[in-house]
């Protein structure tokens, strides 16, 4: 496939995403796939297809001794040659995988994407482009088959996941190698890719050649299968998400009375989605996932009317009658003990706080980039915030007036109404002026501090962030 053709196809596949963003971060390992992707994206920008700033990020996993540093040096020189901004992270993946009791591949993926997300979180309207190919997608599906999987595991790799785009998913590794050859682009080879110790390499070197001998066009047939299965999976996910929104009562709590009569495919998706939402809401740094066994245990408890499933050392799912609740056994200590009750707002604005983004923005900027309607979780009218405001956790006698309420109520009562699990209430961050609660993390802002067109001049933007 010639270089002009591949550029045009990639542009057509992700035109909408690239035209509407201001920054593109490319995950850059230095291998032929990522070299081709970075070169194509910079070439498209040079030709005026889009105006976004292009940068690259490289993670040195420190797994292959001198070869890891060879790759890092190659990446640095390549980006310097093409005048591309680069950020590099070094992390001992082998050590981290042992600490977390996860596989090296899973741990490496976790640190890679966390690093990419951290970089783009500081940029406006940013996307992360990674160089997975159709060949990678096929390998993933075959690997999932060997472990047992449903429709989602047969769909291959997703083209778009949040801020992540994969422009090369319609191209094979053979295409990227050809592109590098035609454009005289150097790249590095990962020697571990040739080792048959890894399951993925066995698939690549043993199974794919057999498939090609049976059907030389097997890449196209897999691509067609992915498209059909993704349509089915998307339909099921949309229905499950709709059901989830109908049943959600509050912070990790769901009314499951209507779920009992749904098909298994909807119920299992409901459980996985609810757990995924819980992990995100708790801003967890653990890379938790829900196993097939755990999903079935939860569904058994729903059928029986009660029971508890331990998902990790601290995380549990509890079914009680018509309620499903996810919670942590330990209280969430969001703030260090010595500062737990007395971090002044002025200090927060000056120095910030790990785990929080706290800043002032002008009302015109707020209107341009956010929506007033229904946003009570992260934005306060700064002029309505008293000078003695502090960040702390709850204390006896705390009162809160919800945005649409007219009467102050005890914070305890408000937590009950929001179905916030008792296990985490002592660790929920609050903004408070005396016993008056102005902001409850992830839940609401008090009525007096809500933003309005008429009176707001400055907006206090406060939110939790990962890591």
119: CATH: 3.40.50.620
Q: At what angle do helices 218-247 and 134-147 cross, to 10 degrees?
A: 70
Report pLDDT digits (tens) over 441-454. 878 888 888 888 88
The reply to whether 185 and 299 lie within a common domain is no
- CA-to-CA distance for 369 and 126, rounded, in angstroms? 14
- CA-to-CA distance for 146 and 199, rounded, in angstroms? 10
The reply to whether 345 and 314 lie within a common domain is no
Where a domain ends, among 298, 328, 358? Answer: 328
- Answer whether 408's CB lies under 8 Å from 362's CB: no
- CA-to-CA distance for 431 and 440, rounded, in angstroms? 7
Report the pLDDT value the prediction gives residue 133, as an integer from 0 to 100: 95
CB atoms within 10 A of CB 431: 26
Report the pLDDT value the prediction gives residue 339, as an integer from 0 to 100: 42
- Answer whether 459's CB lies under 8 Å from 363's CB: yes
* 50 domain residue, yes or no: yes
The reply to whether 213 and 346 lie within a common domain is no
Residues 6+ apart with CB under 8 A from 17: 127, 160, 165
For residue 319, the Cα-to-chain-centroid distance in whole angstroms is 27
The reply to whether 263 and 392 lie within a common domain is no
How many structural domains compose the chain? 3
* 370 domain residue, yes or no: yes
Residues 6+ apart with CB under 8 A from 124: 22, 23
The reply to whether 289 and 410 lie within a common domain is no
Report the pLDDT value the prediction gives residue 292, as an integer from 0 to 100: 87
Report the pLDDT value the prediction gives residue 305, as an integer from 0 to 100: 82
The reply to whether 45 and 85 lie within a common domain is yes
> What is the separation, in whole angstroms, between the first and last Cα of the chain?
42
**If 0-12 CB within 10 Å is exposed, 13-18 middle and 19+ buried, where does residue 162 land?**
exposed
Residue 207: closest CA among 139, 296, 284: 139
The reply to whether 344 and 323 lie within a common domain is no
Report the pLDDT value the prediction gives residue 371, as an integer from 0 to 100: 58
Residues 6+ apart with CB under 8 A from 397: 435
For residue 291, the Cα-to-chain-centroid distance in whole angstroms is 19
How distant, in Å, are the alpha carbons of 306, 345, 379 from that of 462? 38, 11, 6
Residue 134 tokens, joined: 């159709």
- CA-to-CA distance for 30 and 32, rounded, in angstroms? 7
* 273 domain residue, yes or no: yes
The reply to whether 220 and 278 lie within a common domain is no
Report the pLDDT value the prediction gives residue 461, as an integer from 0 to 100: 83
Residues spanned by the domain of 442 = 337-464
Where a domain ends, among 328, 359, 385? Answer: 328
Q: DSSP secondary-structure letter at 427?
A: G
- Answer whether 461's CB lies under 8 Å from 279's CB: no
- CA-to-CA distance for 459 and 462, rounded, in angstroms? 9
CB atoms within 10 A of CB 391: 25
The reply to whether 309 and 349 lie within a common domain is no
The reply to whether 159 and 188 lie within a common domain is yes
CB atoms within 10 A of CB 417: 12
The reply to whether 364 and 306 lie within a common domain is no
Helices and strands per DSSP (H, E), number in the chain: 16, 21
The reply to whether 284 and 346 lie within a common domain is no
Report the pLDDT value the prediction gives residue 354, as an integer from 0 to 100: 56
Report the pLDDT value the prediction gives residue 334, as an integer from 0 to 100: 46
318: CATH: 3.30.465
- CA-to-CA distance for 223 and 406, rounded, in angstroms? 57
- Residue ranges of the chain with pLDDT lower than 50? 330-341, 374-375, 466-467
* 53 domain residue, yes or no: yes
418: CATH: 3.50.40.10
* 232 domain residue, yes or no: no
Where a domain ends, among 328, 345, 380? Answer: 328
For residue 389, the Cα-to-chain-centroid distance in whole angstroms is 32
């Amino acid at each position: 496939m010639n270089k002009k053709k591949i550029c045009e196809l990639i542009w057509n596949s992700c035109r909408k995403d690239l035209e509407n963003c201001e920054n593109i971060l490319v995950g850059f390992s230095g291998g032929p796939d990522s070299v081709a992707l970075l070169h194509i994206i910079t070439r498209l920008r040079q030709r005026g297809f889009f105006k976004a700033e292009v940068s690259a990020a490289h993670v040195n996993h420190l797994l292959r001794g001198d070869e890891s540093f060879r790759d890092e040096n190659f990446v640095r020189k390549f980006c310097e040659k093409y005048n591309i901004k680069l950020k590099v992270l070094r992390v001992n993946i082998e050590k981290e995988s042992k600490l977390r009791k996860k596989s090296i591949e899973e741990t490496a993926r976790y640190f890679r994407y966390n690093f990419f997300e951290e970089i783009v979180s500081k940029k406006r309207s940013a996307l992360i482009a990674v160089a997975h190919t159709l060949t990678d997608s096929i390998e993933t599906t075959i690997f999932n088959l060997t472990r047992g999987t449903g429709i989602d595991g047969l769909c291959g790799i997703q083209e778009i996941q949040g801020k992540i785009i994969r422009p090369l998913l319609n191209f094979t590794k053979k295409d990227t190698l050809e592109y590098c050859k035609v454009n005289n682009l150097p790249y590095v080879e990962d020697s571990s890719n040739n080792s048959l110790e890894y399951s993925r390499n066995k698939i690549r070197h043993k199974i794919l050649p057999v498939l090609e001998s049976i059907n030389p066009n097997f890449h196209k047939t897999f691509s067609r299968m992915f498209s059909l299965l993704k349509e089915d999976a998307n339909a099921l996910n949309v229905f499950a998400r709709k059901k989830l929104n109908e049943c959600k009562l509050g912070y990790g709590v769901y009314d499951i009375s209507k779920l009992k009569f749904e098909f298994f495919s909807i119920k299992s998706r409901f459980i996985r989605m609810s757990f995924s939402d819980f992990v995100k809401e708790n801003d967890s740094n653990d890379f938790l996932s829900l196993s097939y066994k755990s999903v079935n245990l939860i569904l058994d408890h729903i059928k029986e009317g009660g029971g508890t499933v331990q998902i990790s050392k601290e995380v549990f799912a509890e079914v009680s009658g018509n309620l499903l609740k996810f919670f942590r056994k330990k209280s969430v200590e969001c703030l260090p003990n010595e500062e737990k009750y007395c971090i002044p707002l002025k200090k927060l604005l000056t120095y910030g706080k790990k785990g929080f983004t706290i800043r002032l923005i002008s009302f015109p900027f707020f209107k341009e980039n956010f929506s007033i309607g229904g946003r009570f979780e992260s934005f306060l009218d700064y002029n309505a915030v008293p000078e003695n405001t502090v960040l702390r956790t709850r204390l006896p006698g705390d009162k809160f007036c919800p945005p649409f309420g007219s009467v102050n109520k005890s914070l305890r009562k408000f937590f009950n109404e929001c179905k916030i699990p008792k296990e985490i209430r002592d660790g929920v961050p609050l903004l408070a002026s005396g016993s008056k609660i102005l902001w409850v993390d992830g839940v609401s802002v008090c009525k007096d501090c809500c933003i309005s067109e008429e009176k707001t001049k400055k907006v206090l933007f406060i939110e939790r962030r990962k890591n």
